[in-house]
Chains A and B, each alone.
Chain A
Amino acid sequence: MRRRGPAFWCLLAFTLLVCAFLIVPVAMSMLAGVTVNYQSGLSSGLTLRWVAQVWEGYSDTIFRSMGIAVACLACTLVLGVPAAYALNRSQSVPARVIEELLVMPVAIPGLATAMALIVTYNTLGNFRTSWTFILVGHVLFTLPFMVRSVLAVMAAVDLKTLEEGAASLGAGFRQRFFSIVLPNCRPGILAGSLMVVTLSMGEFNMTWLLHTPLTKTLPVGLADAYASLRLEVGSAYTLVFFLMIVPLLVAIQLLARPVQLAGQGAPR
């Protein structure tokens, strides 16, 4: 191994500092959620009281978020995978324009999208007060992640040749789609699905405007708890949220680098 100069150690120290900046608050909040009194520190003892209080007050938001995430995944699969196939097949200019358009809900602030949905569908029956109103927002925001990650795999496996082979052996379109296209796109579908579920569970920017008192989601409940309850309860709630999304985040990291998208990150 090459001898490390002082520059190496300085940069390593800097990198460790950045890591600490990102990870220490996460660890602190997880610990605070099970501490009797955060102000007096760990010596006050550990407790599950705050977690129980969160469960009592907010378990409905947890189940609603899970339900919306699953429904959102179903929608993005049904809409996104065929759309990706169509976009992959067509080399035309309109196809590229559509690809750009689909990413717009990620690039535009969620606040604007939510307001647009509200001014348009405010008066449409029970839609405004239903959880499906939130679902619509989540589908718009997550669809491009599904489409892009499936498209990336489709471009890598040369689907066209595989399909031509199947067609020459007499396979019809339906058979080709289900036995050639879908199995070959599995890595992309899996990566996209994990991303969709993670993002839907954490979406706040749109959901805050789209929700009603009866359709609170987990992040909405979090904002609520941060604003009105003691630090320990907010931490316990955050702990529950971490326990739900950390396995998803780890799976995303193990699977591959997540699909890079313009504006991917508007923290939601």
Chain B
Amino acid sequence: MTAPSSARSADEPAPAGAVPSPEHAAVVRAAIGGDARAFEQIVGAYHRRVFNFLQQMTRQREDTEDLTQQTFIKAYQHIERVDPERPIINWLLTIARRTALNHFRSARKWEFVPADLASSEPSPAAQLEVQDRADNLWARARRILPQREFEALWLRFAEERSTEETAEIMGLTQIHVKVIVHRARQRMLKGESAS
């Protein structure tokens, strides 16, 4: 996953969605025009980010792979809906999020499953990974934040989406996103749990 190193300060109004490069727009336009190779380029460029986003949201690898496939199939089938002048990742994450919600709505509640609980006897490497995750701020965020706050925080600071883009992906208003992120930040700073 790429993580741009822009440093926006707390609650600072985020800039509007970044304008994609002309090359990016050309690839998207070609995909809209039915160029299968162009769509494969899009898959190659973005499938890791979509996969990672879904993995962080679902914590279940098999589901993540399946949902990533569904996301790109839907994207392919509705590619004419994308705006080539905007970053396609926002559209892909929107599809990914809705696909995951629909998937888990019918099966069970969309909840976080700690990956380290999957194995009863973790390998040394896995133990190191668990330790690493225990020190990770996102592990703490996952423990104490409600799913929606975690999701907003991930989109804002891991995916580096602006408030506007986060609102678009989550289907919320910008004010709502700001409030959610503010609450999440407060909880993280205080270490308090939402429950």
Determine if chain A interacts with chain B.
no
Which B residues form the contact surface with A (CB < 8 A)? none
Which residues from chain A sit less than 8 Å from chain B, CB to CB? Answer: none
